[in-house]
Amino acid sequence: MSKIALGADHGGYELKEAVKAHLDEIGVAYQDFGCFSTESVDYPDMAKPACEAVVSGECDKALLFCGTGVGISIAANKIKGIRACCCSDYFSAKYTRMHNDANALCLGGRVVGAGLAIELVDVFLNTAFEGGRHAKRIAKITALENEG
């Protein structure tokens, strides 16, 4: 597996650190685009470089964190080529890979605990896109994106 891009605001900082420790344990490489403390910051500022690293191919997928996971997912989905999913349940984390070919998982530091977050990260990173009938839907999402 190639490198994972990490990004968080202050609301997701601690969960990012917990997930980072897990990635260290399982030997998954990552690049951390911040933030680096609980000092208040604006989540689009970390979503942008983390997602750009995915779009450029420097990183394979992004794991993004804010208080709810929602704000950073909205910001991420503004970046062309990003399909970000904010979720807090196992089924969605798995199927957003299988059906949506999601390349960014967004988690809420004030919503999910570290134990669940690690389960969600593992299934997200280890589940392949199914392709087939889903590929034409992704192509339609890309077409929407290209329409501006």
Give me the least distance between CB of 77 and ligand RB5, in Å please. Answer: 13
Return all residues near 119 (Cβ < 8 A) that are at least 6 apart.
90, 93
Q: Given the complex with ligand RB5, which of 28 and 71 has the nearer CB atom?
A: 71
Binding site for ligand RB5 (CB under 6 A): 9, 11, 43, 66-68, 70-71
Q: Which residue is nearest to ligand RB5 (CB)?
A: 71
Backbone angles phi, psi at 67, to 5 degrees: -60, -50
- Identify whether 22 is a catalytic site residue: no
Nearest to 33 by CA among 75, 70, 89, 68: 75
Q: How far is the CB of 58 from ligand RB5 (least distance, A)?
A: 25
Q: Among residues 51, 59, 66, 86, which one is catalytic?
A: 66
CB of 76 to ligand RB5, least distance (A): 11
**Residue 31 in contact with residue 59, Cβ under 8 Å?**
yes
- Nearer to ligand RB5 by Cβ, of 55 and 70: the residue is 70
99: annotated active-site residue: yes
d(CA 146, CA 111): 33
d(CA 12, CA 4): 16
The residues annotated with a catalytic role in the active site are 66, 99
